[in-house]
Structure 1
Amino acid sequence: MRENSNQTTSQYLTFILDGEVFALDIGTVREVLEWTTITRVPRTSDFMRGVINLRGNAVPVVDLRLKFGLGQAEKTVNTCIIIVEVKMDDDLVVMGALADSVREVIEINAEDTLPAPKIGTTVDAEFLKGMARQDDEFIIILDIQRLFSDQELTTLQESDELAVA
């Protein structure tokens, strides 16, 4: 077994969107929920599916497939909501992200992460931290902090407040 103290390893939650494997840094993930009722909030972006009740709190839920232009998926037994925390200014915004299914938590060495390709993925390269290879497949590593603009995060936060009112 090779041991290298200079090697940085990070853990990622992997999930599926439209047949592709994506990953989020486990430090941004709070929990994974089964599908639950999502209440639509008027006058929000198409990718903003609505809000869910999470232990008495309204949490906005976004459809990553719609955000990436992949088209809305049909709800299946594997569809889930990944609850994440995103920094906005000095606050943490808690939100849910719909995924077709969740796979597992994996470790990826920093040296095994490839730069995000400029073309060839369904996701805008500005949303990516990079890519990694596991066995015979590539894993697209998302940068949750760059996934939503400040304006979109503000809208998500406002939809949360609207739902509470």
Structure 2
Amino acid sequence: MAGKKRKLSFKKILQKDVKKVKKTTEKKEEKKQTKGVEKKAQEVKERIDKKKVEKEKIKQLIRSKDVSKIISESRSGIEDIRKIEEVMGFEVNGEFYCVPLHYVSEIVALEPISAPDLPPFIIGISEYRGDVLPVIDPGLMFGIGQVEAEGSSCMILNLDGTSVAMRVTRIHGIIKLKGKIIYNLPDELQVDYLKGAIEYSGKVMAILDPVKLLQSENITGTKE
């Protein structure tokens, strides 16, 4: 009988050990999952914070009225971007920008139709030559206010196979870069979608890379 009791005691101890190991394993797995969720949440927060910083930097640049200061603070002075010969200049709520001309398909007037579940900077969709395009408001992207519909134009941009319409306040036309100085930006104004800046009518005109700009907002399907 004594041997039998010892056997039962051993069995109970074994069961307790199994339960203990199982409980410990479950706790470790739960802790691991919690860490995974926390890590993912932190990554999302970092991406959001990065976008906020980038938008603040672009606002600093385009709102600067002191062209000479931007020039004097540039990292290496002059940047020769040989591949960009011409740009399309445009204005957004009193601020000046341009994009390489080869991205611009056409300048048109569009009336976007509202659609549900769109990001705030996409003000609607519009039909263009048989396609349905998102209509983007760069003023909302850069935090300088929505572009008024009255008197505005839309640039149709072809970005590596993805077409979008960008509403702007005013088109300033084609600007030839030959003979113009293209300035690098100061380190504190560096963002992925800015290629540099030129002087235009005594103001700073930022050269945008529209592909990287829209990649930063997950609009294009292309990857860097």
- Displacement after TM superposition at 1:66 (Å): 0.5
When normalised by structure 1's length, the TM-score is 0.75
Give 3-state SS (helix, strand or coil) of 1:60's partner. Answer: strand
State the alpha-carbon separation in 2 of the partners of residues 98 and 25 from structure 1: 16
| Structure showing the higher helix proportion among its residues | 2
When Rg is computed on C-alpha atoms for both structures, the one with the higher figure is 2
Once the two structures are superposed, residues 51-102 of structure 1 have per-residue CA deviations (whole angstroms, 9 ceiling, x without a partner) of 111122111111111111112132222x010000112xxxx10000010110
Does residue 49 (structure 1) correspond to residue 123 (structure 2)? The answer is yes
**DSSP-derived class of the 2:192 partner:** helix
From 166, 181, 193, the counterpart of 1:112: 181
Kindly provide the amino acid, as one letter, of the partner of residue 100 in structure 2.
D
Q: Secondary structure at the match of 1:148?
A: helix
| Corresponding residue of 1:69 | 143
Q: Cα gap change, 1:136/1:63 in structure 2, threshold over 3 Å: closer, same or farther?
A: same
* CA RMSD between the two structures: 2.5
In the superposition, the TM-score normalised over structure 2's length comes to 0.57
Which structure's residues are more often strand, by fraction?
1
**Gaps spanning 5+ residues in structure 2: where?**
1-79
Tell me, in whole angstroms, the C-alpha distance in 2 between the residues paired with 1:144 and 1:111: 21
Question: How far is 1:127 from its partner?
Answer: 1.9
List structure 1 segments (4+ residues) > 3 angstroms apart after TM superposition: 6-9, 117-120
**Greater relative CO, 1 or 2 (CA 8 Å, sep 6+):** 1
1:131 aligns with 2:197: yes
Distance 1:51 1:72, change over 3 A: same
Identity %: 21
1:1-165 counterparts in 2 under 5 A?
A: 8=82, 10-34=85-109, 36-77=110-151, 79-87=152-160, 92-109=161-178, 112-119=181-188, 125-149=191-215, 152-154=218-220
Aligned-residue offset at 1:139: 1.3
Whether the 8 Å CA contact 2:147–2:167 is kept in 1: the answer is: no
